Amino acid sequence: MSMRELVTGGAACAVPGSSSSSSNPLGALANALIGSSSKTQERLREIPNAAAPTSDTQFYSQVDDSVAALPGSELDRPFLHSNAQGSDFIRGLRSFDDNGLADAWEEIQRQPHLDHLYDPAAAPIQPTLDGPPQRVLSSFLHSFVDSSRSGIPLHPTPLPLLGLSQGDKQCIRDRSSIMARHFFADKSEDFINAQVNALLSSLEIENDVRARGPVPGRFRELEDYWNESQGILKPGARSADGWVTEFSQYTAQHGDTNAWVRSFEQQHGASSWASEFEQEQAQLTSIDHLNGGDVANLAAIEQTRMLAHTLSQNDDPKFQVKPASGSWATEYQQQYNGGGTWADEFVHNEVFRGPDQWVNEFATERERHEQADDQWVNEFSKLHVDDWVEEFGHQVGEGILGDTSSDNWANAYDEFLNEQVAAKQRSDASSGVYVFSDMNPYVGHPNPLKEGQELFRKGLLSEAVLALEAEVMKNPENAEGWRLLGITHAENDDDQQAIAAMMRAQEADPTNLEVLLALGVSHTNELEQAAALKYLYGWLQHHPKYGTLAPPELGDSLYYADVARLFNEAAQMSPEDADVHIVLGVLYNLSREYDKAIASFKTALKLKPNDYSLWNKLGATQANSVQSADAILAYQQALDLKPNYVRAWANMGISYANQGLYEQSIRYYVRALAMNPKADNAWQYLRISLSCASRNDMLEPCDSRNLELLQKEFPL
């Protein structure tokens, strides 16, 4: 399911309770997005018909005169003085053949002269995104922009889900790759690509072929040579303009030059080898995104893809590497069977066979430059062509094609890709499986459950996890052991393991109310509305007091409104039951009614003022409704009650970061990490805050996870 569906499906939610920091921001974004739909319609209605009479009269009183004087009306009447002057101006610069004037203005003459045909500006304003996700995005884009000055490579950072639409992603992809070439002008193409890729992969945007590639002018050496040789061939005024430049344009004004490109393609067959390669690479890139492939690899692939893309896109014949079709596949097959030096041979023989031919042909046509082909080949080899061929060969060598001996390598490759996707899906499906730690010192402990409870009480969460794992390994049916393990993970900021443990607890005891509530909260955090409703409804069903409220037939098709209604009934039944108010608070988070959620949690806190996790829920909800200052007070309450509450420390940091207080947020992240260095989310947030606070000097200690240094630098 795509993020978009999650958001628009209304499943997006906030993060009370075990509040994974990573899903915190999405609630607010979803709120903004969904809240916007009605605004959008209102806006649409507000947009005036642009042909409103008031505006027209102001402009159109003079329209007819001014239009008559426009260029294009010249075919009807004599040239105006100013136009003639302009014409002289250009003629004075260089003698230009004027034959195309009539054609040029035909376009204008064909324009219907219709004043009132405007389509009114109908684009509605997007909601102004200023909730936490906007700040995360903004901060991250800032660090991207900032990295141009520091020269420090941007690392891909798993960000919280931001709910970006496809259109948003395309904007980010296209614009950042164009702008990056302005900011990072000093850097190599590889560096630029790596930066853009780090940005895009962090935002989970595939860098597909629609993105604007590098500037055509980057093959300078070749361009220069080309210009030079052509300069000799084409004496006269136009040579100064460089026909190569014109030739490489996408206009259809090439004349005979175009013709010979076409004839070349006919002779050699448009095997579109480059574009095929590029497609495969694009797919490969996306697969790597899925698998979280490392940057270096991505950058290399990207480089390859860009080159292939350039080769296939550029109309300039010098980039059209098109070896005779068929021979490539044969060659490839042979080399594949034989292994070894396929790439080398391909580089030295096959790639240049085609170009040799066409260069010869070209030379013959021009009756000049017999030696050009050699030089051309030399120039071309300098363009790091080896890099990508090696890369491709390398991947082939690594057995990307598996054992298949199919003649059609493309089919085999597709199969491989499908397998990869299937494998990825399998691994997703199994994500609910609890993963035990290696080397657990508590295995063999006489009473690991008691030990685990004790450690949990002391706040030694990572140790408690080990003890409790020992317990559930010993007694896999112990629901309490699993439940406590789940809660420990949740407080230690590890939602995946928390859910896995809670599922085991529920298997062992399907009616345990605490387990059902915890699962409801966790699924709310994970934005799974249906699952969250199922568990919350289960809580009601199995509650001794409220069980009668829940008609069993409802369990088959749960709707948010029904569940919320039942819990409101329960709250009326016993207004003194804090748990009901807690569940209501969670439910309101699901529906993004943060004010109601905050009220519910506050009611519950009056009944249970010492429940630190409840204070954390309140804080997270306030953070979601963009009340970061209030959230900090709530987190502080939670921390006063439980100083080792890692999640609250991390959440505190997020709230400070959301207010732009990056320095302060760093201190809280560092404190959270000192307590649980395995909290990966917090490391990522720390990194963003460091770069937003312009503390690039501390990025290295952050990357090497040097907590000692970080704690010294950022004491709390």
Partner 1 sequence: MPVFKTPFNGYSVRFSPFYESRLAVATAQNFGILGNGRVHVIDLSPTSPTINELIAYDTADGVYDVAWSESHDSVLVAAIADGSVKVYDTALPPQSNPLRSFKEHAREVHGLDYNPTRRDSFLSASWDDSVKLWTLDRPASLRTFREHAYCVYSVAWNPKHADIFASASGDCTVRIWDVREPGSTMIIPGHEHEILSCDWNKYDDCLIASASVDKSIRIWDVRNYRVPLSVLNGHGYAIRKIKFSPHKRNLIVSCSYDMTVCLWDFMVEDALVGRHDHHTEFVVGVDLSVLVDGLMASTGWDELVYVWQQGMDPRAV
Q: Which of residues 147-166 bind partner 1 (CB under 8 A)?
A: 148, 164
For residues 56 and 713, which CB has a smaller minimum distance to partner 1 in the complex?
A: 56
- Which of 126, 341, 404, 411 forms a contact with partner 1 (CB under 8 A)? 126
Q: Which of 37, 188, 249, 425 forms a contact with partner 1 (CB under 8 A)? A: 249
Helices (H) and strands (E) in the chain, counts: 36, 0
Tokens at residue 342, please? Answer: 């396929």
Q: By C-beta, is 159 or 563 nearer to partner 1?
A: 159
CB of 126 to partner 1, least distance (A): 5
| Strand, coil or helix: 403 | coil
Decide: is 123 part of the binding site for partner 1 (CB under 8 A).
yes
Q: Does 137 bind partner 1 (CB under 8 A)?
A: yes
- How many residues bind partner 1 (CB under 8 A)? The answer is 88
- How far is the CA of 102 from the CAs of 22, 72, 78, 112, 458, in angstroms? 63, 9, 14, 18, 88
554 binds partner 1 (CB under 8 A): no
Nearer to partner 1, 172 or 584 (CB): 172
Residue 378 beta carbon to partner 1: minimum distance, rounded to whole angstroms: 21
User: Residue 99 contacts by C-beta under 8 Å, 6 or more apart in sequence?
Assistant: none
Closest CB 664 distance from partner 1, rounded Å: 20
Distance CA 146, CA 150 (A): 7
Asked whether position 426 contacts partner 1 by CB under 8 A, the answer is no
For partner 1, give the closer residue by CB, 86 or 340.
86
List the structure tokens of 161. Answer: 């889900």
Which residue type occupies 167? Answer: G
Minimum gap (Å) between residue 479 Cβ and partner 1? 46
How many other C-beta atoms are found inside a 10 Å radius of the C-beta of residue 617? Answer: 30
The only residue of 168, 344, 356, 454 in contact with partner 1, by rule CB under 8 A: 168
Q: Should residue 613 be labelled a site residue for partner 1 when binding is judged by CB under 8 A?
A: no
> How far is Cα 690 from Cα 687, in angstroms, rounded to an integer?
5
312 binds partner 1 (CB under 8 A): no
Taking the least distance from each CB to partner 1, the nearer of 168 and 663 is: 168
DSSP 8-state class, residue 159: P
Shortest distance (Å) from residue 69 CB to partner 1: 7
Which one, of 440, 429, 490, lies nearest residue 613 by Cα?
A: 490
Residues 174-193 that bind partner 1 (CB under 8 A): 174-176, 178-179, 181-183, 185-186
Give the one residue of 42, 78, 114, 371 binding partner 1; rule: CB under 8 A: 114
Q: Is 63 a residue that touches partner 1 (CB under 8 A)?
A: yes
Task: Say whether residue 255 binds partner 1 (CB under 8 A).
Answer: no
Residue nearer to partner 1 on the CB measure, 138 or 644: 138
Contacting residue, 246, 374, 477, 703, with partner 1 by CB under 8 A: 246
653: Cα separation from own chain's centroid: 24
Q: Does 107 bind partner 1 (CB under 8 A)?
A: yes
Length of the chain in residues, anyone? 716
8 Å CB contact between 342 and 285: no
Contact call for residue 172 and partner 1 (CB under 8 A): yes
Helices (H), 9-160: 24-46, 53-60, 63-68, 81-93, 101-110, 132-150
Residue 565 touching partner 1 (CB under 8 A): no
Token couple for 639: 């921390």
Residue 707 exposed, middle or buried by CB count within 10 Å (0-12, 13-18, 19+)? middle
Closest CB to partner 1 among residues 110, 426 = 110
- Whole-number CA gyration radius for the chain: 33
Using CB under 8 A, which residues numbered 73 to 102 contact partner 1?
74, 82-83, 85-87, 89-90, 92-94, 96, 98, 100-101
- Shortest CB 112 distance to partner 1, Å: 8
User: Considering only residues 37, 44, 120, 410, which one is a binding residue for partner 1 as defined by CB under 8 A?
Assistant: 120
- Kindly tell me the sign of the dihedral angle through the C-alpha atoms of 484, 486, 488, 490: negative
Strand intervals (E) in 537-649:
none
For residue 1, state whether it binds partner 1 (rule: CB under 8 A).
Answer: no
**Contact predicate 50/121, CB 8 Å:** yes
Spatial neighbors of 265 by CB under 8 A, at least 6 apart, are 320, 322
Instruction: Give the nearer residue to partner 1 in terms of CB position, either 58 or 371.
Output: 58
Residue whose entry in the numeric block shows the structure tokens 């109310």: 513
Tokens (6 digits) for 194: 């790596």
Q: Which residues from 199-228 bind partner 1, rule CB under 8 A?
A: 212, 215-217, 220
Residue 237 sits in the site that holds partner 1 (CB under 8 A):
no
121 makes contact with partner 1 (CB under 8 A): yes
- Quick check: 128 binds partner 1 (CB under 8 A)? yes
Q: Using CB under 8 A, which residues numbered 366 to 385 contact partner 1?
A: none
Residues 18-47 that bind partner 1 (CB under 8 A): 46
Q: Is 113 exposed, middle or buried (0-12, 13-18, 19+ CB in 10 A)?
A: exposed
